[in-house]
Amino acid sequence: MTTTIAAGDISSFASAVRAELSDLPADDVDEILDGLEGDLSDQAAEAGDDFVLPDPAAYAAELRSAAGLPEREATASRPFRKRLDDADAAVAQWFRSHPATQTIRDFLVALRPVWWLLRGWALYMIVIGLLPISDPFGITGDVLARLISPTVNIVYLSLLLACVILSVQWGRGRWAPTRWLRGTRTALSVVSAIAVPLLAFSAIGQVSGAMSYIRSAGYENFTPGLAVDSERVRNIFAYDAQGNPIEQVQLFDQSGQPLTTVGPSGQTEPIDPYFWGGGGPAPVAEREIGRQPVWNVFPLREVPADAFLVGEPDPREATTPTFPFAQVPTVAARDDEPTTATPTPTATPTPTASPAPHPSPSMPGDSPTEVPTP
| Over residues 345-355, mean pLDDT | 53
- State pLDDT tens for residues 249-265: 999 989 998 888 887 77
Termini Cα distance of the chain: 172
Q: What is the C-alpha to C-alpha distance for residues 354 and 117, in angstroms, rounded to an integer?
A: 126
Please list the alpha-helical segments (H only) found in the chain.
7-20, 26-33, 36-47, 56-67, 78-97, 99-110, 112-130, 134-137, 143-148, 154-171, 179-215
Close Cβ partners of 267 (under 8 Å, ≥ 6 residues apart):
260, 292, 293, 295
What's the chain's average pLDDT? 74
Kindly report the length of the chain: 374
Largest CA distance in the chain: 194
- State pLDDT tens for residues 199-223: 888 878 777 776 776 666 555 556 6
| Over residues 46-71, mean pLDDT | 80
DSSP label at residue 264: G
For 140, 144, 153, 199, the CA distances from 133, given in Å and listed in that order, are 11, 15, 11, 19
Q: What is the C-alpha to C-alpha distance for residues 153 and 171, in angstroms, rounded to an integer?
A: 28
Q: What is the C-alpha to C-alpha distance for residues 323 and 306, in angstroms, rounded to an integer?
A: 20
Q: What is the C-alpha to C-alpha distance for residues 35 and 91, in angstroms, rounded to an integer?
A: 19
- State pLDDT tens for residues 128-166: 777 665 443 343 345 455 454 444 567 778 888 999 999
When mean pLDDT is compared across 99-103, 197-201, 311-315, the lowest value belongs to: 311-315
Would the pTM count as exceeding 0.85? Answer: no
Q: Can you give the pLDDT at residue 41? A: 82
Q: What is the C-alpha to C-alpha distance for residues 284 and 317, in angstroms, rounded to an integer?
A: 10
